[in-house]
Every structure is written in C-alpha cells, then in structure tokens.
Amino acid sequence: MHVKLQNRRLTQGLLISAGIMLLAAASAWAGGSTESATTSGKSFSGTIQTYAESYSPNQVFAPNQIRPTELAKLAKEYSTLHPGVKVDFVQNLASGSDYMTWLRTKSAGGELPDIVWVQWQKADTSVPHGVLTNLAPHLAAADPYVPGKSWGETLNKQIVAETRAPDGATYVINGDYVGTATYYNKEMFRKAGITTPPTTWSEFISACQKLKSAGFTPFAWDLAATRTGIDRLSWLTRLFYTNFFMGDWKKLEFTGTDNVNLKDDAIAVHKGMYGKDNPRWMALWPILKDFSQYWQKDFTGSDSNGNGPKLAFIAGKVAMYFDGSWAARQIQSAKPDFQWGTFSNPYPTSTLTKYATSYDSSASIGGPSSSFQYAIPTQKADNSMSPAKLTATVDWLMYITTAAHDEAIVNQLGEYVPTVDGTEPIPSLMHLGQLISKPLYATFGGYYLNESERSAFFRTFQSYVLGQLTLAQFGDQATQLMNQTSDTLAQQNHWDFAKY
C-alpha cells in the first residue's frame, strides 16, 4: 500500500516536471523574440534595429581601429526629432565571419534586424526571394529632410540607376564608394631598378620580372579556397573582362538597365559570349596563369583567413598586392619598416593581347559596393516589420542619407568615399571621389552568378593554375558550370532567354 502510493506520486511528479519542461520550452520563444511594434494608428513607436556594417558603433574593436561614433550620434538626434522612436545597433559580425550564413539563418527565423547590409549585385540572388523589400516606391516619395526633392533625387542618380536589380526593383540604398589599388613597396622597386610605377598590364608584368631577378617575390595573391580567396578572383575577372568587352558594351546591357547586372551576365553566358567558344573570353586564363609565376610561394595554402597578402606585404615579404581603399589606413597603423605607396591597377592593352581594348578598367574593381549598402527586410524575414515600422525605418534611412550626414558617417571612418550628391571625400581619397559619378562599367564575365557556381568555378581555376587541368579542360568545365547555373537562375527567376 505504502509503496504503491509512493509510486503514484513519483509518476505524477515526473509527469509534472516533464510538462513544465515542455511549457518552458514553448514559452521560451521570448528568448528568440523580436520587437513587436504597436499598431496604433499610423505612426510607429518602438526600436529600429540597424545592422550598420563598418559604420556600426557596436562591434568588437581591435586596438588600432577607429571607432565610428557618428551613427550613434545621429541615432540620438533622430530620437529627439521623433519621440517614441529609438534606434539600436545590432552588434556587427567580426570581419571574416560568414555574414551570408548569418543573414540566411536569421531570415529563416524571421529575426532579421530592420536594416541589413546586402551587396547590391546579389540582393536578388544570394538572398532568397521575398527577404528584402523593394524600396523603389519610397525613392519616389518626398524627402522630409531635403525639402522640395524626392528621396531618389537627393541620392546619387547615377548610382541609383546602376544598382537596380534585374527586375527593376531597388533593394539596396548605397551611400559609399570603394576603390582598389595596387600597393607597392617603394624600396624594393628602387632596388629592382623600376623608376615609375606601371600603368598597363604589360608594364606591370615586366616590373614583376625585374623584381624577380632582383630576388624579391613580386606579388602576393590569395588563391586558397577560403571565402576571401574565392571572392578575390572576381577582381581579376572584372579588371580584364571590362576591358576586353568594352567594344561591345552596349550589347552586354541586354536588359536595358544602366549597368551590366546579373541577368545580363546570365544571358551572355547563355549566348556563349562568356564561355570557351569565345576566344575573347578564353584569352584571360592563360594570362592569369602566367601571372601566377610571380606570386608568393604556396599561394593556394596561404593564411586561412584571406589576409595573407596584406600581412605578407606588411612583413616585407612581397613587393606588391591588390587591396581596397580601406587597407591604406590599416597598413599605416601596422607601421611597416619600408616606404610604400599605391598606383592604379594595371589594365590590359593591345601589347598584351589582341583582345584588349584601350579602356582603362582599373576602376572596375570597385564601385558603390562597400559598407554603406542598406536594405530593409520584409515582414516574413523580420517579423517585427509592420507597415508603420517600414515607414519609420525608411524615414530613418532618409535621415542618414542626407548629404551632411552621409559625409559625416563615411568620412569619420575614412576608408571609403561618400556618394550622396553634394558630399566631399576626405583629401587622401580625392581621386576616388572623382569616380563616383562616372558610369560604373564592370562585368564579372560570368564568374559569380551565384554562390555555388562561384565556389565551383574557383576550384576549377585552382586546378588549372596548379597544372592539374589543361586550358581546354578548364574551359570546358567552367563553361558547363556557367551554363548550368545560368539555366538554373532563369528557372528560379522566370527569365525568358529567348527574348534576347
């Protein structure tokens, strides 16, 4: 009798505890909750979560980093202007983190912040459909902070036109511009007898030869299959293909937008313009393989984080490397023990190959594709995004994209150039500032149609450079890959190639 009662109590006890556990689990959605916006009336009150990328005041700072505080200041001002609305900054992912995975998983959980960073070229494809809001209607709205103009008019018309997605939508608002350059070790150049920095690719290669004879490693390039390495190959494809195809440029703009976008690239692949059957396209690869003889030793196994080239340069092990405008400040603070400088990326000319045109494509590695690229998720990807909140978030974006504010934000960090009409860059980036209103001519040449293709293309290229594949084999594999992907994209996005 005694034992029986105790057993029943035990069973009850266990059932209750199990039930509590389940309840706790179920009610713990609070752990994963997002802000719920009040839906009273038209105006929004609550917190706007912003992911501000490099400009975020909320990130892990290494000791030699400049702290961007401008956005924090603007957030405070904004709250004073709009009582009830607060702006918070989501902590920035550290450099080298897999941002796209973060974006993907957050959106799957409906937990994206209210402003996210997205590369404009891939706003349509590397993010699933339905994640980002089309901001085009808002561009047409009046800008409350610049009386008399619509939002779109206050930004940079050129850039707004160029950064439209293939379907005509505007998913990303751009506010800064990045350029790249070749960083070089002045002392090594002197010792190798190079008096002026090269301008064309052929001059560049002969500079490499001189450096090599003088006993230096001419160039550092990261060809490891890390995220950065895979991304960097697009620098070379842009540099060369923009030049090679400049003669036919208008032809490449199949979809009629002011740039060569992803859809245009896919169509060019489909038509064979990008592929092994086009000798103009194939001409690049032997050039790159030839270039690889001047690279640092073991370039396929360098520092797993993609910073190998920069670090090798700072340590004085190589004479040159490519990097973005942001690197100048980092190299400065690392205080290398040699004099260094930059020159524009060398571009191909007819001395190199008959397929080159005379176009200076050095600026094609760059564009409005840096930190100030903000997009707003839809409600499905950000469960707190109500129509009222959308209006408020757009308003906040309008606030920070006025000329005065954009300039303050971008110039504080000093790594890029502000693009809003009426802004001025910092003095050392003046040359970059001159590019922003020029048309951005850049094509990836079929590289980077989507993540999967880019990774596979890159690995095939590695095999070619390492001598495991012949040029013909590489051409076959790359072309097949590009075509498969282009067809997949067409299917996913309901593109009809027959129209072009």
Partner 1 sequence: MSNRQRPLTTRLFTTSDARLSLSRLKYQWKSGYGMLLPAFVLLIMFMYYPALSAIVLSFSSWDGFNSPIFNGLRNYITLVKDPVFWISIRNVAVWAAVKTTLEIAVPLFVAVLIYHLRSKRMQYIYRVIFVVPVVVPDIVLYLIWSFFFDPNIGVLGHLFSVLGLSGVTPNWLGDPNIALFALMSVGFPFVVPFNLLIFFAGLQAIPEEVMESARIEGVGRTRRFFQIELPLVMGQMKLLLILTMIQLLQNVTLPLVLTNGGPGYSTYVPGLLMYLLAFQNGQFGLGMAVSMVIFILVLSLTWIQFRYIRPGTEYTA
Partner 2 sequence: MWKDFRKDLPSHSFLIVAALIALYPFIYMIMTSFKSNVEFYHNYFGISLPLHFDNYVVAWQAISPYLLNSALFAASGVIIMALTGSLAGYSFARLRYRGKPVIFMVVISLLMIPGLLTLIPLFLEMKGLRLLNSRIGMILAFAAGGQAFTIFVFRQSIASLPEELFEAARIDGYSEVRVYLNIVLPLSKPIIGTVSIFNLLSIWNNYLLPLVLINSQGKYPITVGLMAFRGQFVYNAQYGPMFAGYTIASLPLLLLFLFTMRLFMRGLTAGSIKM
The residue within the footprint of partner 2, chosen from 39, 105, 332, 350 (CB under 8 A), is 105
The residue within the footprint of partner 2, chosen from 134, 150, 330, 386 (CB under 8 A), is 330
Q: Other CB atoms closer than 10 Å to residue 48's CB: what's the count?
A: 27
By C-beta, is 27 or 40 nearer to partner 1? 27
Q: What residue 97 binds from partner 1, partner 2, none (CB within 5 to 8 A, per partner kind)? A: partner 2
Residues from 193 through 212 that contact partner 2 (CB under 8 A): none
* Binding flag, residue 16, partner 2 (CB under 8 A): no
Contact partners, residue 447, CB within 8 Å, separation at least 6? 233, 234, 237, 454, 457
Q: Which residues of 364-394 are buried (b: 16+ CB within 10 A; e: fewer)?
A: bbbbbbbbbbbbbbbeebbbbbbebbbebbb
* Binding flag, residue 334, partner 2 (CB under 8 A): yes
Tell me how far, at minimum, the Cβ of 103 lies from partner 2, in Å: 9
**What values do phi and psi take at 85, rounded to 5?**
-110, 125
> Please, where are the H alpha helices in 95-134?
99-108
The residue within the footprint of partner 1, chosen from 1, 2, 5, 17 (CB under 8 A), is 17
Q: Looking only at Cα atoms, what is the longest distance across the chain?
A: 103
DSSP code for 320: E
The residue within the footprint of partner 1, chosen from 135, 165, 211, 224 (CB under 8 A), is 224
By C-beta, is 412 or 455 nearer to partner 1? 455
Residues from 292 through 351 that contact partner 1 (CB under 8 A): 296-304, 308, 311-312, 315, 317
- The DSSP code sequence of 208-235 is HHHHHHTT-EEE----SSSHHHHHHHHH
**What values do phi and psi take at 44, rounded to 5?**
-100, 140
Q: What residue 314 binds from partner 1, partner 2, none (CB within 5 to 8 A, per partner kind)? A: partner 2
* Binding flag, residue 25, partner 2 (CB under 8 A): yes
Binding footprint of partner 1, residue count (CB under 8 A): 58
* Binding flag, residue 32, partner 2 (CB under 8 A): yes
By C-beta, is 27 or 40 nearer to partner 2? 27
* Binding flag, residue 36, partner 2 (CB under 8 A): no
- The DSSP code sequence of 384-449 is T--HHHHHHHHHHHHHHTSHHHHHHHHHHHTSSEE-STT----GGGHHHHTTTTS------TTS-S
Contact partners, residue 116, CB within 8 Å, separation at least 6? 51, 103, 374, 375, 376, 377
The residue within the footprint of partner 1, chosen from 28, 62, 81, 466 (CB under 8 A), is 466
Distance CA 116, CA 171 (A): 11
Three-state DSSP class for 68?
Answer: coil
* Binding flag, residue 33, partner 2 (CB under 8 A): yes
Binding footprint of partner 2, residue count (CB under 8 A): 46
Tell me how far, at minimum, the Cβ of 174 lies from partner 2, in Å: 23
* Binding flag, residue 431, partner 1 (CB under 8 A): no
Task: For residue 115, list its beta bridge partners.
Answer: 50
Positions in the binding site for partner 1 (CB under 8 A): 3-4, 7-8, 10-11, 14-15, 17-18, 21-22, 25, 98, 100-101, 104-105, 107-108, 126, 128-131, 223-227, 229, 296-304, 308, 311-312, 315, 317, 380-381, 450-452, 455-456, 459-460, 462-463, 466, 468
